Amino acid sequence: MGIVVGDDAALVIDSGMGPRNGARVLEAARELAGGRSLYLTVTHFHPEHGFGAQVFKGAATIVYNRGQRDELHRKGAAYLGMFKGLGPAVAAELEGVELVDPDIVYDGELELDLGGRTATLRAVGPAHTGSDQIVVVDDRVLFGGDLFETRIFPITPYFPPHDVDVDGDRWIGVLDRLIGLAPEVVIPGHGEVTDVSLIQDVRDYLAYVRAEAARLRAAGASADETASAIDRVARVRWSTWERPEWIGHTARAFYEAAAR
């Protein structure tokens, strides 16, 4: 999560998961912003990023791109149920969640003049989700949501037949463009704040999985065989990364894409 404060307004990026976390973020934003007006946006619709938005309704102007709004409508309730099934602690945080619509919907790109500081909201999906958004502050600070995470295997929500909107090819293309922006500060969806080398690392991993999935499929390997082979190598090659359970999802998504 981020709070960007200008002379006239402040922008909150991601609300956290559930109303309790959202209230903590709103309290911090009000403390930093003083009497300035508030905006809220989210990098994507997933619960740990945007399901605290309800507490901002009426306290901030909520801004989403059109795809985010539409994806929230299509999938929000199902993801709420899925996340509640992850365990009692998560379910407790999601108790009482209400899915709220934005006050402003934009297409493509929107600049927010915060007063002496500019935040550019840009729709870049489909990639990690169908409607990912980045936020660039003063052309030097990049918030990327789950397009990249520090030392974590990319979360690839490939859950056929329920959700297959992840687009690995476009994801790699998005990361190429973000590397070209040469941001000074890179803020991932999960993990420590870092620099542009993180984006390159994630891009290289996804490119490896794409190439191997295509090669193994062409050689006649099944989806399960492909996922298993890629998993074995990736765990060694990226041994310092967490959440290896996502390797198989990524491999299967690229395996399926290789048929198109």
Per-residue model confidence as pLDDT tens digits over 196-252? 999 999 999 999 999 999 999 999 999 999 999 999 999 999 999 999 999 999 999
Alpha-carbon gap, residue 49 to 134, rounded angstroms: 13
Integer Cα distance of 30 and 81 in angstroms:
31
How far apart are alpha carbons 146 and 129 in whole angstroms?
Answer: 9
Q: Which neighbouring-strand residues pair with 2?
A: 13
Residues 6+ apart with CB under 8 A from 87: none
Q: Say what percent of the chain tops pLDDT 90.
A: 98
Average pLDDT over residues 12-22: 97
For 165-204, the pLDDT digits (tens) are: 999 999 999 999 999 999 999 999 999 999 999 999 999 9
Q: Do you find a cis peptide bond into 126, omega within 30 degrees of 0?
A: yes
What does the pLDDT look like over 114-161, one tens digit per residue? 999 999 999 999 999 999 999 999 999 999 999 999 999 999 999 998
Predicted pLDDT of residue 98: 96
Which domains are seen in the chain, by residue range? 2-195 (3.60.15.10)
Please state, in angstroms and rounded to a whole number, the distance separating the CA atoms of residues 155 and 83: 14
Give the model's pLDDT for residue 243: 97
The crossing angle, in degrees rounded to 10, of helices 223-237 and 246-257 is: 130
Q: What percent of the chain has pLDDT over 70?
A: 100
Alpha helices in 114-186 (DSSP H): 168-181
Asked if the model's pLDDT at residue 260 lies above 90, the reply is no
- pTM score, whole prediction: 0.95
Q: Is 148 within 8 Å of 154 (Cβ atoms)? A: yes
Is residue 46's pLDDT more than 90?
A: yes
Beta-carbon-side half-sphere exposure of residue 227 (alpha carbons within 13 Å): 16
